[in-house]
Amino acid sequence: MTTDHTANKLTTKQIVDDCKQYTMWSWSKGSAVNPLAVERAEGVYFYTTEGKRYLDFNSQLMSVNIGHSHPRVLAAMKQAIDSQLLFVAPGLATAPRARLGKRLAALVPGDINTFFFTNGGAEANENAVKAARLFTGRHKILSRYRSYHGATHAGMMMTGDPRRLPNEPGAPGFIRVMDPIPYDYSFGDTDEQRTQNHLRYLEETITYEGPHTIAAMIIETVIGTNGILPPPKGWLKGLRALLDKHGILLICDEVMCGFGRTGKMFAFEHGDIVPDILTMAKGLTSSYLPLGAMGVNDKIAKHFQDNVFFGGLTYNAHALCLATAEAVLDVMEDEKLVENAARMQDVMLGEMAKLKAKHPSIRSYRAIGLFGLIELQKDRQGTPMAPYGGSHPAIDKLMGFFKQEGLYTISHWWNIMCNPPLSITPEQLRDGFEIIDRGLEITDAAVA
Last residue of a domain, one of 334, 354, 375: 334
Do 183 and 263 reside in the same domain of the chain?
Answer: yes
Residue 396 domain flag: yes
Do 324 and 387 reside in the same domain of the chain?
Answer: no
Residue 269 domain flag: yes
Question: What is the rounded CA–CA span in Å between residue 319 and residue 331?
Answer: 19
Question: What is the rounded CA–CA span in Å between residue 329 and residue 279?
Answer: 16
Last residue of a domain, one of 274, 300, 334: 334
Are 194 and 181 in contact by the 8 Å Cβ rule? The answer is yes
Residue 6 domain flag: no
In this predicted model, what pLDDT tens digit does every residue of 232-243 receive, in sequence order? 999 999 999 999
Do 91 and 119 reside in the same domain of the chain?
Answer: yes
Residue 386 sits in a domain whose CATH number is 3.90.1150.10
Are 40 and 47 in contact by the 8 Å Cβ rule? The answer is yes
Do 245 and 308 reside in the same domain of the chain?
Answer: yes
Do 405 and 320 reside in the same domain of the chain?
Answer: no
DSSP, collapsed to helix, strand or coil, labels residue 181 as coil
What is the residue-wise DSSP string for 419-438? ---TT--HHHHHHHHHHHHH
In this predicted model, what pLDDT tens digit does every residue of 352-389 receive, in sequence order? 999 999 999 999 999 999 999 999 999 999 999 999 99
Sequence-distant (≥ 6) Cβ neighbours of residue 412 within 8 angstroms: 225, 226
Are 62 and 419 in contact by the 8 Å Cβ rule? The answer is yes
Amino acid (1-letter code) at residue 353: A
Do 409 and 325 reside in the same domain of the chain?
Answer: no
The residue range of the domain holding 428 is 12-66+336-444
Are 348 and 172 in contact by the 8 Å Cβ rule? The answer is no
Question: Is the pLDDT reported for residue 443 higher than 80?
Answer: yes
Are 157 and 167 in contact by the 8 Å Cβ rule? The answer is yes
Count of structural domains, the chain: 2
Pairing of strands 140-144, 214-220: parallel
Are 443 and 375 in contact by the 8 Å Cβ rule? The answer is no
DSSP, collapsed to helix, strand or coil, labels residue 197 as helix
Do 296 and 399 reside in the same domain of the chain?
Answer: no
Do 355 and 294 reside in the same domain of the chain?
Answer: no
φ, ψ dihedrals at 374, nearest 5°: -120, 125
pLDDT grade for 448, boundaries at 50, 70 and 90:
confident
Please give the residue that has the higher pLDDT: either 1 or 38. 38
Sequence-distant (≥ 6) Cβ neighbours of residue 125 within 8 angstroms: 149, 150, 152, 154, 155, 158, 218, 251, 253, 255, 279
Do 315 and 344 reside in the same domain of the chain?
Answer: no
Residue 248 domain flag: yes
Are 430 and 351 in contact by the 8 Å Cβ rule? The answer is yes
What is the pLDDT, as a whole number, of residue 58?
98
Question: What is the rounded CA–CA span in Å between residue 381 and residue 384?
Answer: 9
How much is the CA Rg of the chain, to the nearest whole Å? 22
Residue 153 sits in a domain whose CATH number is 3.40.640.10
In this predicted model, what pLDDT tens digit does every residue of 267-318 receive, in sequence order? 999 999 999 999 999 999 999 999 999 999 999 999 999 999 999 999 999 9
What is the residue-wise DSSP string for 236-289? HHHHHHHHHHTT-EEEEE-TTTTTTTTSSSSGGGGGT---SEEEE-GGGTTTSS
In this predicted model, what pLDDT tens digit does every residue of 378-435 receive, in sequence order? 999 999 999 999 999 999 999 999 999 999 999 999 999 999 999 999 999 999 999 9
Residue 143 domain flag: yes
Do 208 and 261 reside in the same domain of the chain?
Answer: yes
Do 308 and 386 reside in the same domain of the chain?
Answer: no
Residue 291 domain flag: yes
What is the residue-wise DSSP string for 126-174? HHHHHHHHHHHS--EEEEESS----SSHHHHHH--SGGGGGG-S--S-E
Residue 1 domain flag: no
Residue 3 domain flag: no
Last residue of a domain, one of 316, 334, 352: 334
Do 302 and 355 reside in the same domain of the chain?
Answer: no
